[in-house]
Amino acid sequence: MKIAFAGAGAVGCHYGSKLVQAGFDVILLARGRHLTVMQGAGLRHESEGECKQVAVKATSDAGQLKFSQVVVLSCKMTGFVEMVDMLRGHISPAALLLTLQNGVEAPEQLAKAFPDHAIAAGTAFIGVRLEQPGYVIHSAAGGIRMGLWQQGRGEQYLLPLIRAFQHAEVPARQDDDPEAMLWRKLLWNCGFNAITAITRRYARDMAAGAETLAIVRQAMEEVVEIAKVCNIAIGEQDILLKHIDVTLNMGPVKTSMWQDIEAGRKTEVEYINGYVVRKADELNMPAPVNRLLMSLIKAMERG
């Protein structure tokens, strides 16, 4: 099975590297200095106490993805529309497309762009960062869940893809309710992503402090209330406790929003806390903590 990662930054390179090391045929769609380094020296991949130099196939040409049976969209939501446009006309009609973006909007946006393709929604619960071009550091977790979002010829590759990840020692499993799955990840992101970017402290530190944990809980409780009204079964209070317990015991996760603020890049706050605020306004519900977190991140972006 040929697997492509479209938008191979930290997340795409980590999973792509794991699959390459397990013997799978993988191509990474990337650009800039990061691409140049990978084409010349390969990918430096640090994970679970080991640092390896991995020979990878990398390209900036979306046309090189036309023979891939699976295309994983691993770019951030801030570049998602551009990536979708880049892929038009270059994807086999029999391919499975998998989204790994934060937020809950990517699968439906992709379905509108590729109405005849099989589409799976995925969530990656992982701490990983691009330390420098061609150098990825995996610091915590790494599991993937995915569920079929839209039927098509490529849906036959969903279970083989899960088995491929498992063979590559990536915890992976199928989820029968992909919408609820996406909201569970949104719940964690709303609680922890923005506050870690504002404080420049790891997620586990936010969960360990009584004052910051209170803010985390309030942000997540707002998401739970909106999910209830939308008839999305994310687990209510049980899932809050699970997210907090997992976070307390995880490694030093430098969240994507924190990384973006440090690098002076536009963050995904519009697709995380901002999505919750828009949904709350639509439903005439309160979401003051998510609104505050979104406003503070936007102020930091302007600065």
- The whole-number average pLDDT for the span 21-39 is 98
Comparing 83-87, 173-177, 205-209, 239-243, which segment has the lowest mean pLDDT?
239-243
Note the pLDDT of residue 253. 85
Q: Is the pLDDT of residue 290 over 70?
A: yes
Q: Is the pLDDT of residue 283 over 70?
A: yes
Note the pLDDT of residue 235. 76
Q: What is the pLDDT of residues 101-153, one digit of tens each?
A: 999 999 999 999 999 999 999 999 999 999 999 999 999 889 999 999 999 99
**Which candidate, 112, 272, 276, 262, places its Cα nearest to that of 194?**
272
At 251, the pLDDT band (50, 70, 90 cuts) reads confident
Cα separation, 25 vs 2, in Å, equals 5
User: Of all helices (H) and strands (E), which one includes residue 44?
Assistant: strand 43-47
Q: pTM of this prediction?
A: 0.96
Q: Is the pLDDT of residue 237 over 80?
A: no
CA distances from 191 to 62, 215, 217 (A): 35, 8, 7
- The whole-number average pLDDT for the span 218-230 is 96
Q: Is the pLDDT of residue 236 over 70?
A: no
* Residue corresponding to tokens 């992982």: 126
- The whole-number average pLDDT for the span 9-31 is 98
Q: Is the pLDDT of residue 29 over 70?
A: yes
* Burial of 115 (C-beta count, 10 Å sphere; 0-12/13-18/19+): exposed
Considering the chain, what is the average pLDDT of its residues? 96
pLDDT, greater one: 106 or 252: 106
Domains recognised in the chain with CATH numbers: 2-175 (3.40.50.720), 180-302 (1.10.1040.10)
**Which candidate, 174, 219, 225, 197, places its Cα nearest to that of 297?**
197
- Strand segments (E) across 77-203: 96-99, 118-132, 135-150, 172-174
